[in-house]
Structure 1
Amino acid sequence: MTTDLHREGALAGLRVLDATQMLAGPLAGTRLGDLGADVIKVESPNGGEFNRTHGFGDQTVDGQMTTFVAVNRNKRSLAIDLKDPEALTAFRTLIRSADVFIQNFRRGTATRLGIGYEQLRELNPRLIYCSISGYGASGPYADRPGQDLIVQGYSGSMFSVGRADDDPAPGALWAADVMTGYQAVIGILAALQSRERTGDGQHVEVDMYSVVLDAQLQELVTYLNTGFNPQRSAEPSAHAAIPAPYGVYRTADGWLTLAMSPLPALGAMLDDPWLASLSAYNDGHDRRDEVFAHIRDRFVGGTTAEWVRLADEHGVWAGPVYDYPDLVNDPHLLATGTFVEQPSAGRGAPVRTVRPPIRLSGTPTAIRKGAPALGADSVAILRDAGVDSSSIDRLIDSGALLSTRTELAR
């Protein structure tokens, strides 16, 4: 029999206040919402967070920027001016009922607003307070801009890809932001579990720089302990420390990826005696440029699908290079139901999106609601927290609280 908890998710009953913007913080809030938490997005009444008005190509769906819709599902919106004294009082009332508070303000901003860790801990000792930053709360870089590309540059990772003479190559996945959001969720869940034992909340701190270094544990442990510093080759390797044929190759109709495959197996696949003879363990390292140059143009005579089939037959690890139109027709993604719909914030058609990547058998993740309109839930949230109606009315009249007409008509 399906229980209420099963329908609501593993984190049902937890209240999360998400005062973040851009990508890392909002993604963390969305993942907690996917897991069933009641996530309240705390925004300024004056336009809301950055991604409501700025996005990729200024593209919109359901009347909102796609960048906002993408990482703000399963949330309610509280549009409140925390610089207003009465609004701050109302917010501090809400804090008493919260389990988690997430913020990614610049260093010192939360304390100046009256919502720093120590300030909120006095109101709610059980609160899990999560701070997300670019470089942490101390050190020479603490006040530098914590943006994905800049952090990638600091991390050393850009010299792992491409030819020796190429410019440093950044990744295209916003990996620093996304990984930081996931690490924040891990920290929050760990703190919640600790609270079950001790009854006490705590401060969780995650910074992008540390996260990207953590993602390079193999490379950094090797360098820190042996001094081995991978050097990019003259040919286009996909990673400076991995032997040939690790890279991307043009085919008759696209591109093919080749991973860490034995060169004799590749030689058998290509009917190439020279490759088949390279059976020594270090041949892929020692003769890396020779191998890359030798096979660079070998795949243009067949289609990507043909080469993938041959690779599978010969035990060579290979795959296609998709673009987005290819992705939406990929048979694996279609079979596994990866692309799903989330509800519209208004009356429009549902928004297509990607299902949550976490699978739980007993309390599954779910997309219960779409990204909220700015201030769509302001009144309901404060009423539920115990803020009296006269205070709410004064905040709306003063502009310190934004509420939609739809909500006021309920």
Structure 2
Amino acid sequence: MKPLEGLLVLEFAQFMAAPSAGLKLADLGARVIKIERPVKGEAGRQIAIKNLFIDGDSLVFHTINRNKESYAADLKNPEDLERIKKLIQQADIITHNFRPGVMEKIGLDYEQVKKLNSKVIYAIVTGYGNKGPWANKPGQDLLIQSLSGLTWLSGTKQKGPVPFGLAVADMVCGAHLCQGILAALIRRAKTQTGALVEVSLMESILDVQFEVLTSYLNDGGKLPDRSSVKGNGHAYLSAPYGIYQTADSYITLAMGNLWHLGEVLGVDLSAYSKKEDWFTKRDEINTLIAQQLIKKETDAWIFILEEQKIWCSKVYNYQEILNHEAYKILDMQQQLDLPDGTPLTSTRSPIQINRQKLFSAKAAPKAGAHTVAINQEFNL
């Protein structure tokens, strides 16, 4: 039995942040029903990566919405809204990521829903919170990355801001929403009362930066100092932290004793006798290291460095890591059975419960696929 079996989640959500929280709840055993517009469903069905679509919906929609059901309802239609309210009375959790004011207009904001179901966990994702000058600004991942300062942590000093190649704000926000929901469920078990859980994309991406923001706040307001050397891995860490080119590919060096590293590499770093130098003269040191690492192939350096207990690694692409035994032993992949019979390979939940990995072959539903069955089951 999975931990959340028996819990009913109603997901009034689209795109990635809130639906990714629903995916995590579903993988842990909850029953997640997406409340979607009739026919077209949620807007995320048409947001694609590389313009990849399967059976009329984007591939990315399938990855975020597997293991769920779909109920079609026009929330502006009084009859549909009444059915939804009856469903809410039997739900444990509600999630949505509409802009501030939308659910209030419909009459499904927390205060109204609480009258229908006092024990419900009502969980909201916003872009920037409910108040302030950005409250109604689009809560889109790249915008959040850019506004939060995150894009000034990667890349070299000579380059402009560099965004993550992932929807990192959405993904982390979904994880934070799930954390809040689970905490509220524990509280409900103790007090028999529901809760309002609120997370914003901006707060989530600021939390991701808690280490470096704390450094900024306690270091006289000095901005991150990105390296002028290509491949530096962290604007706030000392040499040798980063990725370096070798004779045939790339190698990563993590933190460690710089003097020991210099001895092993055959690089004279005696001029940097103070640990303070590792920070203030980071770029000089990294340049010396880079000039040495380019002389041999990656495997040769890995053999030398690992023998000396120096933290290092190769730099793999997707083809290399997905064909490596270290990846295969994790058993991270699962096959989904799409409604039209087409198989779709995706990843599983990373969580294990009692040494059991969480798999599910249940694919993302077609819009409204379960409406009739849910109406009958819940007498709507």
TM-score by length of 1: 0.87
From 352, 365, 386, the counterpart of 2:379: 386
Structure-1 residue corresponding to 2:95: 102
From 206, 219, 222, the counterpart of 1:226: 219
Give, in whole Å, the separation in 2 of the partners of 1:310 and 1:321: 17
From 308, 316, 319, the counterpart of 1:314: 308
Structure-1 residue corresponding to 2:36: 43
Query: Is residue 252 of structure 1 aligned with residue 247 of structure 2?
Result: yes
SS of the residue corresponding to residue 313 of structure 2 reads strand
From 338, 347, 360, the counterpart of 1:344: 338
Give, in whole Å, the separation in 1 of the partners of 2:52 and 2:95: 27
- Structure 1 residue identity aligned to 2:258: L
Say if 2:334 and 2:361, in contact at 8 Å, map to a contact too.
no
Q: Structure 1: which 5+ residue stretches go unaligned? A: 1-5, 388-410
Bigger shift: residues 332-341 or 230-239? 230-239
TM-score by length of 2: 0.94
Q: How many residues align?
A: 378
- Structure 2 residue identity aligned to 1:57: K
Say if 2:39 and 2:367, in contact at 8 Å, map to a contact too.
no
User: Measured at CA, do residues 127 and 270 of structure 1 come closer, stay the same or move farther in structure 2, by a change above 3 Å?
Assistant: same
Say if 2:39 and 2:368, in contact at 8 Å, map to a contact too.
no
Q: What does 1:84-99 correspond to in 2, within 5 Å? A: 84-99=77-92
SS of the residue corresponding to residue 105 of structure 2 reads helix
From 68, 71, 77, the counterpart of 1:75: 68
Give, in whole Å, the separation in 1 of the partners of 2:374 and 2:247: 57
Give, in whole Å, the separation in 1 of the partners of 2:133 and 2:265: 53
Structure-2 residue corresponding to 1:397: none
User: Measured at CA, do residues 173 and 250 of structure 1 come closer, stay the same or move farther in structure 2, by a change above 3 Å?
Assistant: same
The answer to which structure, 1 or 2, has the higher relative contact order (CA under 8 A, 6+ apart) is: 1
Bigger shift: residues 86-95 or 283-292? 283-292
Structure-1 residue corresponding to 2:140: 147
Query: Is residue 264 of structure 1 aligned with residue 224 of structure 2?
Result: no
SS of the residue corresponding to residue 275 of structure 1 reads coil
User: Measured at CA, do residues 157 and 186 of structure 1 come closer, stay the same or move farther in structure 2, by a change above 3 Å?
Assistant: same
SS of the residue corresponding to residue 275 of structure 2 reads coil
Give, in whole Å, the separation in 2 of the partners of 1:345 and 1:327: 30
Bigger shift: residues 93-102 or 319-328? 319-328
Say if 1:263 and 1:276, in contact at 8 Å, map to a contact too.
no
- Structure 1 residue identity aligned to 2:275: Y
1:58-102 CA distances to partner (integer Å, 9 max, x unpaired)? 213455321111111110011221111111111111111100000
Bigger shift: residues 70-79 or 251-260? 251-260
Give, in whole Å, the separation in 1 of the partners of 2:260 and 2:339: 53
User: Measured at CA, do residues 363 and 14 of structure 1 come closer, stay the same or move farther in structure 2, by a change above 3 Å?
Assistant: farther
- Structure 1 residue identity aligned to 2:287: A
How far does residue 118 in structure 1 lie from its aligned partner after superposition? 1.1
How far does residue 311 in structure 1 lie from its aligned partner after superposition? 2.4
How far does residue 366 in structure 1 lie from its aligned partner after superposition? 3.0
Say if 2:226 and 2:234, in contact at 8 Å, map to a contact too.
yes
Give, in whole Å, the separation in 2 of the partners of 1:253 and 1:92: 62
Give, in whole Å, the separation in 2 of the partners of 1:314 and 1:117: 58
- Structure 1 residue identity aligned to 2:208: A
- Structure 2 residue identity aligned to 1:160: L
Give, in whole Å, the separation in 1 of the partners of 2:30 and 2:23: 9
Give, in whole Å, the separation in 1 of the partners of 2:356 and 2:187: 21
- Structure 1 residue identity aligned to 2:345: R
Structure-2 residue corresponding to 1:240: 235
How far does residue 21 in structure 1 lie from its aligned partner after superposition? 1.0
Bigger shift: residues 162-171 or 299-308? 299-308
Give, in whole Å, the separation in 2 of the partners of 1:284 and 1:191: 45
How far does residue 114 in structure 1 lie from its aligned partner after superposition? 2.0
How far does residue 181 in structure 1 lie from its aligned partner after superposition? 0.2
From 205, 229, 240, the counterpart of 1:212: 205
Say if 1:100 and 1:127, in contact at 8 Å, map to a contact too.
yes
SS of the residue corresponding to residue 226 of structure 1 reads coil
Query: Is residue 377 of structure 1 aligned with residue 361 of structure 2?
Result: no
1:221-243 CA distances to partner (integer Å, 9 max, x unpaired)? 22223325232233232221111
